[in-house]
Structure 1
Amino acid sequence: MKLKEILQGIDYKVVRGSEDLEIGKIQYDSRAVKDGDLFVCIEGYATDGHKYIDNAYKSGAAAIIIGKDVEDIPDCTVIRVKDSRKALALAGANFYDHPADKLKIIGVTGTNGKTTSTFMMKSILEAAGYKVGIVGTIANYIGSKKLHTERTTPESLELQKLFKDMVDDGVQYCVMEVSSHSLYLDRVYGVKFSQAIFTNLTQDHLDFHKTFENYYNAKLILFKNAVNSVINLDDEYGERVYNDTTENKITYAIDKNSDVKASEIHMHSRGVDFNITYGSEKEHINLNIPGKYNVMNALGSAGACLKEGISLSLVKKGLEAMIAVPGRCEIVTKDYNLGYEVIVDYAHTPDGLENILKTAREFTKGRLISVFGCGGDRDNKKRPIMGRIGSELSDLAVITSDNPRTEEPMAIIKEITEGIKKDNYIIVENRREAIKKAMEMAEKDDVIVVAGKGHEDYQILKDKTIHFDEREIIGEIVEALKERS
């Protein structure tokens, strides 16, 4: 494709060379540059692409886009733009022939509930006969085809390529998790969303955003780029989002008056059933995932699909077809006759941990045992808060390691325990041993919640990343305990 075609819609100035040249691929990582490529310098969280201009030039870059003035201009075409991140997003859309315009895109943002909501909407839309793609934390999906993902929302260039692959495969709807990072870093810049869902807002990612206000404002960007907004009024920030949003709006809630509402909620260990009303219509839903917060996720998902013209009866069909979401309140011991249950959940924020423990308490006949830690190199302010929540809502808390990254695991654990006021906890630093200890202590009718990693099948240590799938580990511990008995 000609460089001038890639630059369409971008405010730019030619510093050197000509726009009338052929480009092979677009790259923002200098290590991936090949002869004839366009290299876009973007400023990342950890480094700045402008530092690698010389590397890109030596690797054969035919053109380079810069977002700020640089001293040494290489002997190739150089384009100056005001914002290279926005330029990358628009260039990617041009290069892949604007695939987002050929999809109906539904975005979900919020601290918790994004992943479950995307799976719920995929099930509803498929019940209505559509082919659906997912962009999210667990994996990306093109129909039933599962693709590995490195982050919740890909960089804009990869996102546009993913949209193109979806279009080429006949996908009609893309439902995607839209992280606050991706909004702030313009990964979805230029993408028009058919629906934007707000789930909730609680403390998270303050290591990146620095203040809660910055975090909120990053989330709000999604609703400025959506045709319709679907807003949770039961969340304390929902009303603020509602007031800050000018486009078409639909609300959902359990406690407050709203457009989509749940009532007569009955929770049990393997799910929850409730009535859902929308205008004069009503359906009874038997959801195969437990938890009041999953009723909220179902309401938001229903609201977006209803705004897409899908009937409430098809919403019911799609929600009831869902069996489980990997690592989201996932009961991993249903095939074993242990007398107690072990649940794996991705809860890694104070609100997430509180939700899963309150949900588990609803159907726990014996003791509730929690196993959790906190990630390293992340917001450390939430550590004592999670310690307090885990201790107060459990009969026994096993404090352990999560993904310690470059931090010392015991230093993280010490910060967690600073928030604990009760003496109902033990420390087992090794996560596998912590899970094993909880299972050894479990008695009939107990429930163990292993929180923090959910769908992840790895653990990030200081010097390496190891395979660590809690479903496999729990299965191995079950077999080992059987042999011992």
Structure 2
Amino acid sequence: MQLQKLLSALPFYSTNQDIKNIDINGIKMDNREIEKGDMFVCIKGFTVDGHSFAKQAAQSGAVAIVSEKPLDVSPAITIIVPDTTKALAILATEFYHHPTHNFPLIGITGTNGKTTTTYLLEEIFKAHGKKTGLIGTIQMKIGDKVYGITNTTPDALHLQHNFHKMAREEVDIVMMEVSSHALDLGRVYGSDFDIAVFTNLSQDHLDYHKDMDDYLRAKTLLFTGLGNSYKNKKFAVLNVDDDHSKVIQNSTAQPVITYGIQTNADVMATNISFQLKNTTFTLKTPVGETTIRSNLIGTFNIYNMLAAASVAILRKVSLETIKYALEKIRGVDGRFEQVTAGQNFAVIVDYAHTPDSLENVLQTVKEFAKQRIFTIVGTGGDRDRTKRPLMAKVATKYSDLAILTSDNPRTEEPGAILQDMTNGLVDTNYTVIENRKEAIQYGINMAEAGDIVLIAGKGHETYQEINGVRYDFDDRIVAEEAIRQKGTN
């Protein structure tokens, strides 16, 4: 693409040379990936500043450097902008020809439920005969092809590249998780959302956001960004049982469809019945009602199904197809996933890593627990410290025994994290076992017939990060090995 055309997407910039007749072959934000004819955008990260690598990028063949300050990178042209992060999103969208104009885009934001809701929507739209795209915490998918992913919401450059790839492969609809970080950092700037979903808001990411009000402000950006379109109808889908939805509703000019259980809403669940293996409820919608018998367990999963059903109804999917898809899906990796190896007690692995999500899971476990509940849980290092004692408090409140252990300590001392968890803890029904494998083994060895062991915090993750190094570690594999070892003793 001609540099002049590419830069025409920016509202303001200044440059030190003539920009005519220069071709840009690609856009990069990592100087190690530069090829001849590329544009390099200097991004200030949390640990490194891309401006420090601009000269290396020019030496590697970059013909244009986008920067927030003048740089000596001759013979490359310097393009100076006020904010390179925002500029990267605009430039990437222009370079890839506004790919989200080629398909309906559904964004799901909230503290909990984003991943499950995207997978439910994928199942519904596949049953509706559509080719789907999905971007989320676990992976990216285009149709049945699966790709690895590092962030819940990729940076703007990779996001637009992925959207472009989806457009080339002619997907019919795309669902994506949208994190508060992505919204605040402008990663989704330039993405044309058709439906925005709000699941809920509870304490998380206060290592990044200064307080809960700032966290909520970031979430509203998805809804203020819906804008006005006379070509495509746009909608906001809100969980009306969460009080924060009132702020979200006031943040959008688009029509709102609500869902809930406790409060009167457009889409509701009634006649709810929980079992260890399934959940049954009546799905009431503006287009009729039907009975859902789902393999997904718990109230929180009913909310996820209501969110997905609300979106599907807006996209004119029949109630029969919604019912079929919701009843077909077996579950999502690491979300209330049961580990079975012939034992006479239940072992459940769940991603719950916030006080609210842990309480939701444990309340569900409490619904059908016939004997004791053992909860194995830790909290991550280099993250919000204020939620650590809250997690421990929730674990002891709902469990017969809470086994507090290491999660992903990252660069922190695991012992210091556990000390934060136990500070001020009044309940005494807990033990501390720093080694996560030993903690899981301990909980499973304690379990007897009818007991439930919940292993919380990591869910689908297949690693444990200690001192900046990722080691292979899967709660599900460790649990299954512990069950089998117990059976042979």
TM over 0.5: yes
Equivalent residue, structure 2, for 1:36: 37
Which one of 318, 323, 335 corresponds to residue 316 of structure 1? Answer: 323
Cα distance per residue 1:51-87 (max 9 Å; x no partner): 2222212222110111x22354543211122322222
Letter in 1 for 2:389: P
- 1:9-20 aligned within 5 A: 9-11=9-11, 12-20=13-21
Offset of 1:419 from its aligned partner?
Answer: 4.2
Paired residue for 1:200?
200
The answer to whether the Cα contact below 8 Å between 2:111 and 2:204 also exists between their aligned partners in 1 is yes
1:306 aligns with 2:310: no
Amino acid at match of 2:15: V
| Aligned mates of 2:424, 2:203 — CA distance in 1 | 16
Q: Residue in 2 aligned with 1:63?
A: 64
Distance in 2 between residues matched to 1:162 and 1:281, nearest whole Å = 37
For structure 1, which runs of at least 5 residues remain unmatched after alignment?
Answer: none
Does the 8 Å CA contact 2:287/2:319 hold for their aligned counterparts?
A: no
* Secondary structure in 2 matching 1:141: strand
Kept after mapping to 2: 8 A contact 1:191/1:225: no
3-state SS, counterpart of residue 416 of structure 2: helix
Shift of 1:8: 3.3
- Equivalents in 1 of 2:206, 2:65: separation in Å? 33
> 1:166 and 2:166 equivalent?
yes
8 Å Cα contact 1:17-1:78 kept in structure 2 = no
Does the 8 A contact of 2:58 with 2:73 survive in 1?
no
For the 8 Å contact 2:331–2:337, the answer to whether it is kept is: yes
How far off is 1:24 after superposition?
2.2
Distance 1:256 1:225, change over 3 A: same
Contact in 2 for aligned 1:8/1:91 (Cα 8 Å): no
Q: State whether structure 2 residue 168 is matched by structure 1 residue 135.
A: no
User: What's the counterpart of residue 229 of structure 2?
Assistant: none
**C-alpha distance in 1, partners of 2:19/2:258?**
51
Q: Is the partner of 2:460 in helix, strand or coil?
A: coil
Contact 1:104/1:193 (<8 A) preserved: yes
Is the Cα–Cα contact under 8 Å of residues 156 and 187 in structure 1 kept in the other structure? Answer: yes
Higher mean Cα deviation, 242-251 or 367-376? 242-251
Query: For residues 424 and 296 of structure 1, what CA distance do their matches in structure 2 show?
Result: 31
Aligned counterparts of 1:283 and 1:74: Cα–Cα separation in 2? 67
Q: 3-state DSSP class of the match of 2:176?
A: strand
* Amino acid in the other structure paired with 1:190: G
**Equivalent residue letter for 2:359:** E
Q: What's the counterpart of residue 8 of structure 1?
A: 8
Q: How far apart are the structure 2 equivalents of 1:478 and 1:169? A: 44
Compute the displacement of 1:43 (Å): 2.1
Secondary structure of the corresponding residue to residue 194 of structure 2: strand
Q: Would the aligned equivalents of 2:125 and 2:131 in 1 still touch at CA under 8 Å?
A: yes
Q: Check whether the contact 1:30–1:56 (CA below 8 A) recurs between aligned residues.
A: yes
User: 1:404 aligns to what?
Assistant: 409
What is the CA distance between 1:251 and its match in structure 2? 0.5
Q: Determine the C-alpha separation between the residues in 1 that align with 2:339 and 2:6.
A: 48
Letter in 1 for 2:202: T
Q: Deviations over 1:385-417 (max 9, x none)?
A: 111111111111000000001100011001101
Unmatched tracts of structure 2, length 5 or more = 227-233
Q: Partner of 1:431 in structure 2? A: 436
Counterpart in the other structure of 2:53: 52
Report percent identity of matched pairs. 42
Tell me the number of residue pairs that the alignment of Structure 1 and Structure 2 aligns. 481
Instruction: Tell me what 2:292 maps to.
Output: 285
Q: Deviations over 1:178-219 (max 9, x none)?
A: 000000111110111111000001111111112211111111
Counterpart CA distance in 2 for 1:263 and 1:367 is 29
Whole-angstrom distance in 1 between the partners of 2:469 and 2:250: 46
Which residue of 2 is the match for residue 260 of structure 1?
A: 267
Please report how far the alpha carbon of residue 464 of structure 1 lies from its aligned counterpart in structure 2 after TM superposition.
1.6
Summarize the Cα distance change of 1:419–1:286 in structure 2 as closer, same or farther, 3 Å threshold. farther
The C-alpha deviation readout for 1:97-122, integer Å capped at 9, x for no partner, is 22111011100000000000000111
1:478 is matched with: 483
Secondary structure in structure 2 of the residue aligned to 1:310: coil
Aligned-partner residue type, residue 401 of structure 1: S
Does 1:349 find its partner at 2:350?
Answer: no
Which segment drifts farther, 195-204 or 6-15?
6-15
Quote the Cα distance in structure 2 between the aligned partners of 1:19 and 1:209.
42
**Distance in 1 between the 2:7 and 2:69 partners?**
19
Aligned to 1:379: 384
**Partner of 2:273: helix, strand, or coil?**
strand
Letter of the 2:50 counterpart: G
Q: Residues 19 and 205 of structure 1: is their aligned pair in 2 closer, same or farther, counting only changes over 3 Å?
A: farther
Q: Which residue does 1:233 correspond to in 2?
A: 240
Counterpart among 361, 367, 370 of residue 372 in structure 2: 367
Q: Distance in 2 between matches of 1:20 and 1:255?
A: 62
TM-score normalised by the chain length of structure 1: 0.97
Q: Distance in 2 between matches of 1:415 and 1:359?
A: 26
Which of 330, 337, 340 lines up with 2:342 in the alignment? 337
1:443 aligns with 2:444: no
Structure 1 Cα separation of the partners of residues 85 and 315 of structure 2:
31
Question: Could you tell me how far apart the structure 2 residues matched to 1:210 and 1:190 are?
Answer: 26
Between 208-217 and 439-448, report the one with greater CA deviation.
Answer: 208-217
Matches within 5 A, 1:31-180: 31-66=32-67, 68-70=68-70, 72=72, 74-180=74-180
Conserved? CA contact 1:234–1:254, under 8 Å: yes
Q: Answer with 12-21 or 355-364: which moved more.
A: 12-21
Q: CA deviation at 1:35?
A: 2.0
Structure 1: how far apart are the matches of 2:235 and 2:416? 45
For normalisation by structure 2, the TM-score amounts to: 0.96
* Aligned partner letter, 1:376: G
Q: Distance in 2 between matches of 1:22 and 1:72?
A: 21
CA contact (8 A) 1:384 1:418 kept: yes
Query: How far 1:482 moved relative to its partner?
Result: 2.2
Do the aligned residues in 2 keep the contact of 1:388 with 1:419 (CA within 8 Å)? no
Look up the SS of the partner of 2:483 in the other structure: helix
| 8 Å Cα contact 1:16-1:76 kept in structure 2 | no
Using the alignment, how far apart are the partners of 1:363 and 1:126 within structure 2? 32
SS in 2 for 1:282: strand
Judged with a 3 Å threshold, the aligned counterparts in structure 2 of structure 1 residues 80 and 426 are, in CA distance, closer, same or farther, namely same
Q: Give me the whole-angstrom Cα distance separating, in 1, the residues matched to 2:56 and 2:464.
A: 32
The DSSP-based 3-state class of the residue aligned with 1:217 is helix
How far 1:171 sits from its partner (Å)? 1.1
